[in-house]
Structure 1
Amino acid sequence: MTTQHTATASVATTAAPRYAKQLASHLGRRSEIRYLGHSENEHASQTGHASENEHAGQTGHASENEHAGQTGNENDNSDIAIVLTVGECRLHSTPESLELTATANSEDDLHTVTRVIGSHLERFGQRNELTVDWKR
């Protein structure tokens, strides 16, 4: 049996749903995204075509306008799971914060998940000085 490694972060923002959707939209090009309702039975998935390692080296910046038109089953009350090849991160929006829970099968893989998710969120929230401080 493999031990699951976990890290959490609480990112203070009143725009949590917007940042969660932006992360899902951007990373969804290369990863699986699951929109989870209040029940595990309520979800929709979309799958990208490349690994997060390919994505981690990407330096391009997507504009907020690219993410604004996303449609589907997502809504402000849904949790979002971003599934990378080495682990996943669940995003939960509250009125005051975006709650992140990253999981992976090894510390190295957990580091990759937290680095990919954290660096993108900080870049998207640079204007609002968002910081992601992971706790293990």
Structure 2
Amino acid sequence: MPIAEARVETDRPSRYLVQLCKHLSNKGRHLGHRPPGHRPPGLRPDQIHVEWSDTQGVLTLPWGRCTLHAERDALVLRAEGDDEQGLRRLQELMATHLERFGRREGLQVNWQDEQAGQGAGAPAARHEDSGDARTSSPRRGHLASAGVAILALAIIAVHLGLAEAVLSGPRWTDWAVGAVLAVVVVKIAALTALGRHAHRRGRRRTG
């Protein structure tokens, strides 16, 4: 539902609110006395509803609704149309009458579209989020590869220490040394394959 607001600066907001609502209410009653050809198209007298007090007013029409609020130094209008055309009709109706009533004071009704202000910036925010996702994937891939390399160095260091202990022990034979070295080679190969797999996954995410 399209919405627009207008804040009309005036020293007599309550007076204009009551005058405008009374005029629109009388206009609705007068429609019943007009010939069908002289009535606004698609509008019946019973479709115009106006309620008001000294500080609040509500106008309801088939194509939308307008609320009025009298503040200390301004009259605030809020128009809600069933569609864009209905909103424009409400804006034109309220502005034409209010500016005519306040012609001596020089009243001006400047509407501000609410939805246009709320919608701005949303696509940019989504674009920024997608950019963060693109840059984070290769970063994770590099971190994974670095972690695998560090783990491989740690395992090599541990096994070198174990091999040194084996070689220094008098009761260990050559086959035990070979077994330790074989374990080191197998683990290095497995870690290398794991690092390549993590790197490929990072490249596919960025592609």
Aligned to 2:88: 111
**Residue deviations 1:2-54 (CA, integer Å, cap 9, x gap):** xx1100000000100100000000001244xxxxxxxxxxxxxxxx4649x73
Which has the higher relative contact order, 1 or 2, with Cα contacts under 8 A spaced 6 or more apart? 1
Give 3-state SS (helix, strand or coil) of 1:98's partner: strand
Question: Structure 1 segments of 4 or more deviating over 6 A?
Answer: none
Q: Equivalent residues in 2 for 1:1-136 (5 A)?
A: 4-31=1-28, 48=29, 50=31, 54=40, 74-76=52-54, 78-136=55-113
The TM-score, its normalising length taken from structure 2, stands at: 0.44
Amino acid at match of 2:112: K
The TM-score, its normalising length taken from structure 1, stands at: 0.65
Amino acid at match of 1:128: E
From the two aligned structures, give the one with the greater helix fraction: 2
User: How far did 1:88 drift?
Assistant: 1.3
Amino acid at match of 2:105: N
Distance 2:104 2:30 in 1: 30
Distance 2:4 2:62 in 1: 17
From the two aligned structures, give the one with the greater strand fraction: 1
**Residue deviations 1:94-115 (CA, integer Å, cap 9, x gap):** 1110000000110001000000
How many residues are aligned here?
Answer: 98
Give 3-state SS (helix, strand or coil) of 1:130's partner: coil
Give 3-state SS (helix, strand or coil) of 1:80's partner: strand
Amino acid at match of 1:85: P
Give unpaired runs (5+ residues) of structure 1: 32-47, 56-72
Report the structure number with the largest CA radius of gyration. Answer: 2
Compute the RMSD of aligned alpha carbons. Answer: 2.3
Give 3-state SS (helix, strand or coil) of 1:26's partner: helix
Distance 1:9 1:74 in 2: 18
Distance 2:53 2:21 in 1: 12
Q: Between the two proteins, what is the percent identity of the paired residues?
A: 33
Give 3-state SS (helix, strand or coil) of 1:19's partner: helix
Give 3-state SS (helix, strand or coil) of 1:126's partner: coil
